[in-house]
Chains A and B, each alone.
Chain A
């Protein structure tokens, strides 16, 4: 079996975070480079909190996070340089055009202005936003805004893309386009970590699936491995998910 010389895209060890009560408790998670990883869990399980800590938007109480071997606490800028974060609410400016927005995001990642403009134009064309390239984002639909935000995540060629519920509120066409873009990126070697409540999406797209419940990773593996774990073949991910969440000690205790 060949041994990979590349470090994993993400290694989380002993991660903990509390607000009024513990939200994440001793979480360990590894995502390999070039992998499409889906993070599932019921509402309030801590998925977004985990991803926000990976993106550097929340400070963990304990534990370490390494992005391609870089400890995010020791060298946060190096980790951010290779990472892109897409939240469920598109982070765009109402009074910038998609083109200007992408140039701004490229600037944040210190891409020279000429390159930024070229990449922005390419992405706008690729995502079918050409007609709206010069209109203010404030007038765009939710689907188009999500595509603009996704383009923002791609404009600096990240090695790790983290998406929190990227398909929420999108119509079938827009959702398909976003999924195609992500699959193409994974084929090109990019690592994608995504949370979603649409289990069919995780079932079809993800190479590995992690299930979080009450701040803990209760199960992880390929779909086949998860099926084997609950001892039922040919079961849908929905059944597996509900079984795993119901069987987790925290849920049982609740």
Chain B
């Protein structure tokens, strides 16, 4: 089909072509068999998740699901959890549309209207946000559809509306930031806001569960008798999203109209400023380089110190990494709160907190290790310097572990005051998780630019899966050990086996 050039549809076709080819390339890596293997793996994983979801919702369906207050509260709670994550993703993606320079120079130097491109890219943000939420929610929605009827398919419509609303809010926040803090700081502030929004609701609900109900489960708040009693009646407009998700046609139409309408209005109102804001963001590279160049001073005396100082400087200057680290730290707030609430008690709280800390150690170390080991922008420079590879690696690993230690130390200290044994267990298992994640990143290292951090998970799925499994198993070891069971040894052996398997299948480096 031939479309008039430089129109919205023409740009949409161009973006879809690129996105599809990128997806296929990422999936297959140029090999058809790998694509088939991944499709089969994903199908098996989806089937397993659906079976688990069916098991989870069966008792609920058997008890009968009606539009009563407890059900509406629970569905709304789930919806809010998804919406906060979608809002965070939407804001982050919209900001990227302003700052990513890949093809903006070409398009903005052409007579084509940037408004059309903006409309297409914003729609893509809404679409991808919605698609991810649908994928994550699909086991639950499909299970409810199979067991309780097709009315639950309307939940996909609600997710579509929320995806559109997230993109619309993302645009408004980004433009507001451009005006308030200026293009130089918008990206960093927006990434921090996205991290806070993404984690904020989850942490807030969890904090409420810990403070008022002594439970670590987020669902406790939505199932609490007090909250249910205080919630408005089923006919209240507050429940429109929940009613829409449960298949109420007028509520669904209202949701779709609100979400899509908001997106269209925001695009229409802000599209004309896209080119202007993108151009103002374009001049930042030079400005930042000029200012930053004066501040770099390496006063270290040894090669190891120089390398460590360089890693820390680069880590501290990476806004995306900062927001990701902030997210990890935010997720540590609930266990910190649980520790504080249960301070001085020898209750089971520590059994919950230990694995959370161990997981955080593993995940944080994995991300940082990738940046330090694989994400080396000046690989050839470091490789040709008169330094042994061993010294380089040692310095990078020390830099990573020091950052993890600095972040986790206050929590471990707090725990040590309350329960020294649990603190020692968390410290040992956390160190093992961090060391394992770093080792996996070392074995599966590739040469990549730091800017590729976002795609590190797809660069080596084996490394990502191994890292996640090992972290989970060390977290499990910590939990079982903190509970005082000898079975911790079995879980630890499993962790070592997975680590050994990862070593076995890792590519050999010269």
Number of A-B contacts (CB under 8 A): 85
Chain B nearest CB from A11 CB (Å) reads 19
A77-B111, A83-B109, A109-B110 known; A91+B103 contact, CB < 8 A: yes
Q: A95 to B283, Cβ gap below 8 A? A: no
What 9 A-B pairs are tightest by C-beta distance, nearest first?
A107-B5, A19-B287, A108-B110, A95-B21, A85-B109, A108-B112, A80-B111, A91-B106, A77-B111
Complex formed: what's the CA distance from A105 to B111 in Å?
A: 11
User: Known contacts being A80-B109, A91-B105, A108-B110, is A57 close to B282, with CB within 8 Å?
Assistant: yes
CA distance A59 to B282 in the complex (A): 10
Which of A28-36, A110-118, A209-217 sits within the interface? A110-118
Contact present for A19 and B110 (CB under 8 Å):
no
How far apart sit A123 and B171, CA to CA, in the bound complex (Å)? 40
From B276, which residue of chain A is reached at the shortest CB distance?
A: A59
Please tell me if A49 contacts chain B, counting CB pairs below 8 Å: yes
Report A's interface with B, CB cutoff 8 A.
Answer: 19-21, 23, 49, 52, 55-59, 77-78, 80-81, 83-85, 87, 91, 93, 95-96, 100, 104-113, 116, 136, 152
Also in contact, A80 and B279, with CB within 8 A (given A91-B103, A104-B14): no
Q: Is B201 engaged at the interface, CB distance under 8 Å to the other chain? A: no
* B8-25 with Cβ < 8 A to chain A: 10, 14, 17-18, 21-22, 25
Rounded to whole angstroms, the CA-CA distance of A104 and B3 in the bound complex is 12
Q: Among A85, A87, A104, A136, which residue has the most Cβ atoms of chain B within 10 A? A: A104
Q: Is there contact, CB below 8 Å, between B290 and A20? A: yes
Residues 98-115 of chain B: 1 if any A CB is under 8 Å from the residue's CB, otherwise 0?
Answer: 000011011111111000
The reply to whether A113 and B106 contact each other, CB–CB distance below 8 Å, is no
A110: contacting residue among B5, B21, B290, CB under 8 A: B5
Q: How far is the CA of A152 from the CA of B286 in the complex (A)?
A: 26
Q: B280 in the interface, Cβ–Cβ < 8 Å?
A: yes
How far does the alpha carbon of A49 sit from the alpha carbon of B282 in the complex, in Å? Answer: 11
Shortest CB–CB separation between residue B363 and chain A, in angstroms?
30
B449 to chain A, nearest CB (A): 13
Find the residue from A56, A85, A108, A152 having the highest chain B CB count within 10 A.
A108
B2 within 8 A of partner (CB): yes
A108:B106 contact, CB within 8 angstroms: yes
Residues of chain A with a CB closer than 8 A to B102's CB: 91
Q: Does B291 contact A (CB under 8 A)?
A: yes
**B6 CB–A CB distance under 8 Å:** yes
- Asked whether, in the complex, the Cβ of B6 is within 8 Å of the Cβ of A110, the reply is yes
Give 8 new A-B contacts, CB below 8 A, not counting A87-B105, A110-B5.
A57-B109, A57-B279, A85-B105, A91-B103, A95-B21, A100-B17, A107-B112, A108-B107
A56 to B109, CA, bound (A): 6
In angstroms, Cα B437 to Cα A141, docked, is: 35
Chain A residues in 8 Å Cβ range of B109: 55-57, 80, 83-85
Tell me, in angstroms, the Cα distance from A49 to B285 when the chains sit together: 11
Instruction: State the Cβ distance, A221 to closest chain B Cβ, in Å.
Output: 29
> Can you report 15 residue pairs joining A to B where beta carbons are below 8 Å apart?
A19-B286, A19-B287, A20-B291, A21-B290, A55-B105, A56-B109, A56-B279, A57-B105, A59-B283, A95-B25, A105-B106, A108-B106, A109-B5, A110-B5, A152-B106
Instruction: Give bound CA distance, A19 to B202, whole Å.
Output: 40
Alpha-carbon distance between A84 and B2 when the two chains are bound, in angstroms: 25
Residue numbers in A under 8 Å from B5 (CB-CB): 106-113, 116
Q: How far is the CB of A162 from chain B (nearest CB, A)?
A: 9
Contact of A58 among B103, B279, B290 (CB under 8 A): B279
Contacts of B21 in A (CB 8 A): 95, 136
- Closest A residue to B285 by beta carbon equals A19
Q: How far is the CA of A136 from the CA of B276 in the complex (A)?
A: 32
Q: Which of B10, B103, B283 contacts A19 (CB 8 A)?
A: B283
Residues from chain B with Cβ under 8 Å of A116 in the complex: 5
With A57-B105, A85-B109, A107-B6 known to touch, is A95 a contact of B22 (CB < 8 Å)? yes
Q: Is the beta-carbon distance between B279 and A19 smaller than 8 angstroms?
A: no
A96 touches B18 (CB 8 A): yes
- Which listed residue (A20, A21, A49, A107) contacts B10, Cβ 8 A? A107
List of B residues within 8 angstroms of A23 by Cβ:
286
Bound Cα distance from A195 to B291, whole angstroms: 25
The distance from the CB of B479 to the nearest CB of chain A, in whole angstroms, is 44
Checking A49, A57, A78, A108 against B6 with a beta-carbon cut-off of 8 angstroms, the contacting residue is A108
Query: Does A93 lie within 8 Å of B103, measured CB to CB?
Result: yes
Give min CB distance, A185 to chain B, whole Å: 18
- Among B5, B14, B102, B287, the most chain A Cβ lie within 10 Å of the Cβ of B5
CB-nearest residue of chain B to A111: B5
A93 contacts across to B, CB distance below 8 A: 18, 103
Q: Are A58 and B282 in contact (CB under 8 A)?
A: yes
Measured in the bound complex, the distance between the Cα atoms of B30 and A136 in whole Å is: 12
What is the minimal beta-carbon distance from A7 to any residue of chain B, in angstroms?
19
Chain A, Cβ-Cβ closest to B284: A19
Contact A20/B287 with A91-B106, A108-B111 known, Cβ cut-off 8 Å: yes
**Beta-carbon contact of B283 and A58 below 8 Å:** yes
A83 proximity list for chain B (CB < 8 A): 109
**Considering only CB atoms, which chain B residue lies closest to A55 in the complex?**
B109
Instruction: Provide the residues of chain A in CB contact with B287, threshold 8 Å.
Output: 19-20
Find chain A residues with CB under 8 A from B18 CB: 93, 95-96
Q: Give min CB distance, B22 to chain A, whole Å.
A: 6
The CA-CA distance from A57 to B109 in the complex, in Å, is 6
Residues of B within 8 A of A104 (CB): 14
Query: For residue B106, which residues in chain A have a CB less than 8 angstroms away from its CB?
Result: 85, 91, 105, 108, 152
| CB closest residue in chain A, given B108 | A57
